[in-house]
């Protein structure tokens, strides 16, 4: 399986060596799209996908995601980025070129429950999540065999609030060693400190087992049952220093009723959690998300 995944990644990289994505956020004003499309045309690029959104045409921000092919991109990229500076200065842009062949090095954190990890591994093996899983870090041993069977390094690091600083120092060392660009919290039941989060702004994706902002924090299914809710859900979001209040990427729900006990809610919820997290990760990997304050624009 490992060789098949590597071969699939290599084929994807070769197929997309001349493809890039341009993400832009700037004050809304006339001429932005014309300037960007003309720039790409003049540099020999062919736009294959373009999405845009205006938060408020009168005084708000404007967002663009453009995906394009450009023959000889690897040789052109430095000059392309340099030449774009004049346009970005003119329109006061925050922007980034993302190169599709650069597969994101990803670490997965989890605790005991494996369902989100298993979904991610399945999507990764099938080629639906194009990422390089460089390690899995857990404060429990239960998933070691599953992970190591795929030749992915597994790190067991016991964690609790009393040793959080030492734990995060070790985690950061491992992440740096593997050049990690994205962290997925696949039901990792530990709170990350502001110091840890600061190393990966908008690059830590969490799955919370409730439809936020309802039932923030621990034991949401128990609290949902006690409240007698008729809908339960899950929310995937970027991690910030505010617990479970970071920019929301994706959510979903399912109807329940008075016959469903806490364990029933958890079983239904696990299915929602898996799909919501996988979609959020996929959109991040495909550079479809622009963060605007505590909101996301998802193209």
CB 292 within 8 A of CB 60: no
On whether both 48 and 164 belong to a single domain, the answer is no
5 inside domain: no
What's the rounded Cα separation, in Å, for the pair 207 and 219? 14
């093996």: which residue's tokens? 125
Rounded to the nearest 10 degrees, the angle between the axes of helix 262-285 and helix 220-227 is: 130
Residues 110, 29: one domain? no
Domain for residue 6, yes or no?
no
- Give the mean pLDDT per block of 10 residues along the chain (299 residues): 84 97 96 98 97 85 98 96 97 98 98 97 96 98 97 95 94 98 97 96 94 80 89 94 92 93 92 97 98 96
What is the count of structural domains for the chain?
2
190 in any annotated domain: yes
CB 116 within 8 A of CB 272: no
Q: Is the pTM of this model over 0.85?
A: yes
Domain that holds residue 48: 17-99
Catalytic residue among 28, 132, 242, 244: 244
Are residues 71 and 197 part of one domain? no
Query: Among this protein's residues, is 244 annotated catalytic?
Result: yes
Residue in 181, 191, 125, 116 with CA at minimum distance from that of residue 152:
125
Q: Are residues 90 and 109 in the same domain?
A: no
What pLDDT score does 1 carry? 55
Same domain, 130 and 225: yes
**Cα(219)–Cα(213) distance, rounded to whole angstroms?**
14
Last residue of a domain, one of 99, 128, 163: 99
The answer to whether residue 214 is domain-embedded is: yes
The answer on 145 and 62 residing in a single domain is no
Locus of tokens 């990890």: 117
In a domain, 65, yes or no: yes
Instruction: Assess if residue 55 is contained within a domain.
Output: yes
- Domain limit, last residue, from 78, 99, 120: 99
87 plus 109 within the same structural domain:
no
- What CATH number is attached to the domain comprising 30? 3.30.70.260
Same-domain status, 85 and 110: no
Q: Are residues 92 and 236 in the same domain?
A: no
Based on the fold, state whether residues 73 and 56 are members of the same structural domain: yes
217 burial type by CB count under 10 A (0-12 exposed, 13-18 middle, 19+ buried): exposed
Strand pairing report for 132-138 and 105-110? parallel
Give the residue from 60, 80, 99 where a domain finishes.
Answer: 99
For residue 279, which of 241, 239, 236, 243 has the smallest C-alpha distance? 236
Tell me, yes or no, whether 9 lies in a domain: no
Residues 51 and 192 occupy one common structural domain: no
CATH no. for residue 231? 3.40.50.170
Same domain assignment for residues 75 and 164: no
Look at strands 46-54 and 61-69 and give their pairing.
antiparallel
Domain membership flag for residue 12: no
């Amino acid at each position: 399986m490992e060789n098949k995944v590597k071969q699939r990644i290599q084929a994807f990289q070769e197929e997309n060596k001349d493809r890039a994505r341009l993400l832009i956020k700037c004050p809304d004003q006339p001429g932005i799209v014309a300037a960007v499309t003309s720039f790409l045309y003049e540099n020999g690029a062919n736009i294959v996908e373009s999405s845009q959104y205006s938060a408020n045409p009168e005084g708000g921000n404007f967002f663009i995601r453009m995906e394009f092919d450009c023959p000889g991109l690897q040789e052109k990229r430095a000059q392309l980025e340099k030449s774009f500076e004049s346009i970005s200065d003119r329109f006061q842009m925050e922007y980034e070129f993302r190169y599709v062949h650069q597969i994101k090095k990803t670490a997965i954190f989890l605790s005991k429950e494996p369902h989100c990890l298993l979904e991610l591994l399945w999507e990764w093996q099938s080629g639906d999540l194009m990422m390089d899983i460089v390690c899995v870090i857990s404060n429990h041993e239960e998933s070691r065999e599953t992970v190591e069977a795929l030749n992915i390094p597994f790190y067991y690091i016991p964690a609790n609030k009393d040793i959080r600083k030492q734990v995060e120092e070790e985690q950061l060392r491992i992440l740096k060693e593997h050049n990690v660009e994205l962290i997925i919290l696949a039901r990792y039941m530990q709170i990350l400190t502001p110091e840890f989060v600061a190393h990966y702004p908008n690059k830590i994706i969490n799955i919370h087992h409730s439809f936020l902002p309802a039932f923030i924090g621990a034991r949401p299914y128990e609290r949902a049952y006690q409240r007698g809710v008729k809908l339960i859900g899950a929310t995937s979001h970027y991690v910030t220093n505010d617990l479970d209040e970071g920019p929301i990427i994706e959510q979903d729900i399912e109807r329940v009723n008075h016959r469903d006990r806490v364990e029933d809610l958890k079983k239904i919820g696990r299915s929602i959690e898996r799909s919501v997290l996988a979609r959020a990760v996929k959109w991040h990997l495909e550079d479809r998300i622009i963060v605007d304050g505590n909101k996301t624009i998802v193209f």
